[in-house]
Amino acid sequence: MLNLLNNTIVFKWIDKLINFINSIFFVFLLAALSFALIFSPPDYLQSETVRIMYVHVPSAWIGLAAFSVIALLSILNFIFKMKYSNLITKSIAPLGLMFTCLAIVTGSIWAQPTWGTWWAWDARLTSMVILALFYILFIISNKMILEDDKANKVSSIIAIIGFINIPVIKYSVEWWNTLHQPASIKFLQSNSIHSSMMIPLLLMFLALLLYCALIFLMKYKTEIIKIKKKNLKRL
């Protein structure tokens, strides 16, 4: 497992992957954006405002997914002491924070014309802010604590505690009365979003995922280089 994570062969593969994603990302993004902004129909009720959703919803998904990945890796790291898993979590965290903030900001811009307010302290919005705070705590603990082992431990514990927030975010709209609407896309049930809007939404999600993969790989690469440099100094 350790060999898989930190190895010169993997290092070469990262470069190849970065090149590959670079070659398809912009085309994909252009296609997804033109579907989302031009070809998809306006909503029957909110008309053109609905287009914010094509950024808002994928960002929120990525924000949640990224934190789940960080938390799961932190659990593995805590139990099995996987040496280099913190390189991965460190590289994911800034991306997750960015997309969480993006979801909050786009949501706020959407809320002003639709709800009539920029912000409401309902359960969904508040729990998203808590998620952003956990991201910030995680990143700060990695940056401020200078000893690697200790930083690793503290940040994994933060991620594990923050993991409890994830189901709270997901189900906040069902457990409590919130201003935020419930999910339109459900597992095992029919969606309450029309397919002409579903397709651009999924395309945008894939485009943003590609972007995440690209930035993650670049960051992961620099983290590996940093480690290698450190080991060189030790020699």
Partner 1 sequence: MLPKNVKKRASLLTIFLSFSILAIFLILKSLNNNILYFKSPTEIKNSEDINFAKKIRIGGMVKKDTLRVSRSEILFIITDYKNEIKISYSGTVPNLFSEEKGVVAEGKLQDKNFFIADRILAKHDENYMPPELKDKIKKNVK
List of residues contacting partner 1 (CB under 8 A): 41-46, 50, 53, 75, 78-80, 113-117, 120-123, 160-161, 164, 168, 176-179, 181-184, 192-194, 196-197
Q: Which is nearer to partner 1, 23 or 177 (CB)?
A: 177
Distance between CA atoms of 196 and 43, rounded to whole angstroms?
A: 10
Report the distance separating Cα 58 and Cα 36, nearest Å.
12
Nearer to partner 1, 6 or 49 (CB): 49
Task: Calculate Rg over the CA atoms of the chain.
Answer: 20
Nearest approach, Cβ of residue 104 and partner 1 (Å)? 17
Specify the residue, 194 or 228, whose C-beta has the smaller distance to partner 1.
194
When the beta carbons of 108 and 178 are compared against partner 1, the nearer one is: 178
| Nearest approach, Cβ of residue 159 and partner 1 (Å) | 12
Give yes or no for a contact between 122 and 168, defined as CB atoms under 8 angstroms apart: no
With a CB cutoff of 8 Å and minimum separation 6, the contacts of 124 are 169, 172, 173, 178, 179, 180
Minimum CB distance to partner 1, residue 153 (Å)? 11
- What region does 192 belong to: left with phi over 0, alpha with psi -120 to 50, or beta? alpha
Least distance in angstroms from the C-beta of 19 to partner 1: 37
Smallest distance from partner 1 to CB 193, Å: 4
Q: Which residue has the tokens 């993004």?
A: 29
CA distances from 101 to 15, 86, 105, 113, 216 (A): 29, 23, 6, 20, 17
Please identify, using beta-carbon distances, which residue of 71 and 212 lies nearer to partner 1.
Answer: 71
Residue nearer to partner 1 on the CB measure, 63 or 107: 107
Tell me the closest approach of the beta carbon of residue 122 to partner 1, in angstroms: 4
- Nearest-10 crossing angle of helices 165-175, 123-144: 170
DSSP code of 186?
Answer: -
